[in-house]
Amino acid sequence: MNSPPITQASKRGRVFFVGAGPGDPKLLTLRGAECLRRADVVIYDALVNERILDHARPDARRIRLGAGGQAPEMRQAEVCRRLVELAQQGLTVVRLKGGDPMVFARIADESARLADHGIAFELVPGITAALAAASYAGIAITQRGCAPAVGLVSAHAEPGDVATDAGETPLDHHALARFPGTLAYYMGTATAAVWTARLVRAGKPPDTPATIVHRCTFPDQVCVRCRLDEVAGRLDAADPASPAIVVVGPAAGLPPALAWFEQRPLFGQRVLVARPIDQAAAWADSLTELGAEVLIQPAIRIEDPPDWRPVDDALDRLADYDWLVFSSSNGVRFFLRRLFARGFDLRRLGRVRLAAVGPATADALAEYHLRTDVTPDEFRAESLASALAVGAAGQRFLSIRASRGREVLADQLRSAGAVVDQIVAYSSIDVAVADAPVKRRLAAGEIHWATVTSSAIARSLAALFGEDLRKVRLASISPITSATLRALGYEPAVEARVYTTTGLLEAILEVAAGPVSRPSLDGSLPPLPTHGPSD
């Protein structure tokens, strides 16, 4: 092919065909993420997990295919036309495909059209469903001694193929029956009765081991281990819209010693996380890593305070205070962001001492390279007040808090003889309406847990879901949050012993998984040696 000169190519834009991987958005390649960040337009198939699009810029155009009900051939021609058109406008286009773009994805037609028009393109591989299914179901598809080869098989006719009556690819079943190793069937759900019967008729033993892997890498992955002649029956019961790979061959029958994915302690548990969105992500990651399917429904929103003046006044008079007391990580972030927005830097804090209610708040300070002078033994306002009360007489405290919150800290410090000013550094506002899918799943009893990480969240959840909130197990972060839940008429199923999100995770694990050997909760891996053997 004659490549156009670079300047011309860049003026014409370019197209990246990116493999999105099998489903879990974290299985995208780094190159794929990089291309998405650069994209002006992303054209993606209906099956692609939309969370992968989070890598794209918010202003990138997103075009979802396959929802219009057009015939596939029409869609293909239309996609080719649009790719050319967009690239000719000088745009960077990502054509996002499920799995790998070169495996049963008809990318050749699209890339050929681009080549015809001299448009530069790149193919970025992705993890194809068969290989992901092997890893996530624990099937050693190239097991030494029994599976020296692997075949990727399409069980569905492609446009242009001479299809059989059943809409099946014209496969050479005799060759496949003799295939020495593992066969992975794609798109084989609807036609399973036909292709499995033909394979058996061609000589494949009916008791050849098979494993059906539905929705591999998703938190609701399902694996069915059976015989080849049972595959169609087992697939009948499945949702035809749910993608499945069927692995056939001796490797599929080996003991499932490698089946790590479904053995994680929270596998199969659906957990509602009700924290504000920017605090939900890390917490959701810990739950996901333990196997849970996480649904995020913020119950409160965190916003600027209604009036910055009290914060600004306090920033102007910071030298008057002996202590700054933070009751939440949001307080830390909003207060310090305002400090920076006013043109100050950390030196503004001068000699003031810092107190944090708990480790998350202390961590938020640490993000700004600030160390706390006091963190209480128990992570609640009462304990912080007791820790600070010693020697508080005559000292001046500035307490930084939300638009709503408890008065305990200020009351206790004042009774210890301290002077306490309080300022509101952020607003905490109830979310008025729940997302429809979350509401529906909660009402249907499909959610197993809801994590309740503050009294404000407890009250907002009660308002959002009412009676339906009784259908989940409520996991409460502290006795105060539990008391709020009880006052609202809900009994928590578990309560954290240590009042942190890690403590809450421990409490859920004790009930959900029993006292089995568990992975480390802080996500830490064993330390790596710092020196290699040659050092």
Q: Report the alpha-carbon distance of residue 126 to residue 100 in Å, rounded.
A: 4
Among 32, 99, 209, 405, indicate the residue that binds ligand SAH (CB under 6 A): 99
Q: Give the residue, chosen from 92, 128, 279, 375, that forms a contact with ligand SAH under the rule CB under 6 A.
A: 128
CA distance linking residue 426 with residue 158, whole number of Å: 57
Cβ-based nearer residue to ligand SAH, 187 or 452: 187
Least separation in angstroms between residue 209's CB and ligand SAH is 18
C-beta of 42: minimal distance to ligand SAH in Å? 17
Helices within 56-152 (DSSP H only): 72-88, 107-116, 129-137
266 counts as binding ligand SAH under rule CB under 6 A:
no
Shortest Å, Cβ 215 to ligand SAH: 5
Q: Stretches 239-247, 254-262, 370-378, 500-508: which one binds ligand SAH (CB under 6 A)? A: 239-247
Residue 157 DSSP class: P
How far apart are CB 45 and ligand SAH at their closest, in Å?
8
Residue 217 Rama label (left phi>0; alpha psi -120 to 50; beta): left
Q: Candidates 7-15, 103-111, 270-278, 363-371: pick the segment binding ligand SAH (CB under 6 A).
A: 103-111
Residue whose CB is less far from ligand SAH, 210 or 245: 245
Amino acid identity, residue 329? Answer: S
Q: Does 104 bind ligand SAH (CB under 6 A)?
A: yes
Q: At its nearest, how many Å lie between ligand SAH and the CB of residue 228?
A: 17
- CA distances (Å), origin 115, targets 90, 302, 511: 16, 50, 58
Of residues 132-151, those binding ligand SAH (CB under 6 A): 133
CB of 39 to ligand SAH, least distance (A): 19
**Is 23 a residue that touches ligand SAH (CB under 6 A)?**
yes
Contact indicator for 119, 84 with CB cutoff of 8 Å: yes
* HEC-encoded secondary structure of 274-299: CCCHHHHHHHHHHHHHCCCEEEECCC
Segment near ligand SAH (CB under 6 A), from 102-110, 175-183, 190-198, 392-400? 102-110
- How many residues make contact with ligand SAH (CB under 6 A)? 21
Q: Which residues of 165-204 are buried (b: 16+ CB within 10 A; e: fewer)?
A: eeebbebebeebbebebbbbbbbbbebbebbbebbbeeeb
User: Edge-to-edge, what's the strand order for the sheet holding 41-44?
Assistant: 61-64, 41-44, 92-97, 14-19, 120-124
DSSP 8-state class, residue 514: -
Q: Which of 55, 113, 204, 215 binds ligand SAH (CB under 6 A)?
A: 215
Give the residue among 288, 200, 212 at the shortest CA–CA distance from 248.
Answer: 212
Binding flag, residue 295, ligand SAH (CB under 6 A) = no
* Cβ atoms 253, 440 nearer than 8 A: no
Q: Rule CB under 6 A: choose which of 39, 52, 103, 418 binds ligand SAH.
A: 103
Q: Is 28 in the site for ligand SAH (CB under 6 A)?
A: no
**Cβ–Cβ under 8 Å, residues 14 and 120:** yes
Helices (H), 191-328: 192-201, 231-236, 277-289, 309-316
Q: Which of 52, 129, 290, 462 binds ligand SAH (CB under 6 A)?
A: 129
- Shortest Cβ 242–ligand SAH spacing (Å): 8
225 binds ligand SAH (CB under 6 A): no
Stretch that binds ligand SAH, among 83-91, 94-102, 326-334, 411-419 (CB under 6 A): 94-102
Name the segment binding ligand SAH (CB under 6 A); options: 191-199, 211-219, 329-337, 513-521.
211-219
* Distance of closest approach, residue 96 Cβ to ligand SAH, in angstroms: 11
Give the Cβ contact number of residue 307 at 10 Å. Answer: 11
By the rule CB under 6 A, 186 interacts with ligand SAH = yes
3 state DSSP class of 168: coil
* Residue 244 contacts ligand SAH per CB under 6 A: yes
Sign for the pseudo-dihedral over CA of 359, 364, 367, 371? negative
Query: Does 17 participate in binding ligand SAH (rule CB under 6 A)?
Result: no
Q: Name the minimum Å distance from CB 27 to ligand SAH.
A: 10
Per CB under 6 A, the segment of 110-118, 128-136, 337-345, 487-495 that binds ligand SAH is 128-136
How many other CB atoms are there within 10 angstroms of residue 456's CB atom? Answer: 20
Among 36, 120, 147, 187, binds ligand SAH (CB under 6 A): 187
Distance CA 532, CA 535 (A): 5
- Smallest separation (angstroms) from ligand SAH to the CB of 218: 6
Q: Which residues would be at the binding site for ligand SAH (CB under 6 A)?
A: 22-23, 97-100, 103-105, 128-129, 133, 186-187, 213, 215-217, 243-245
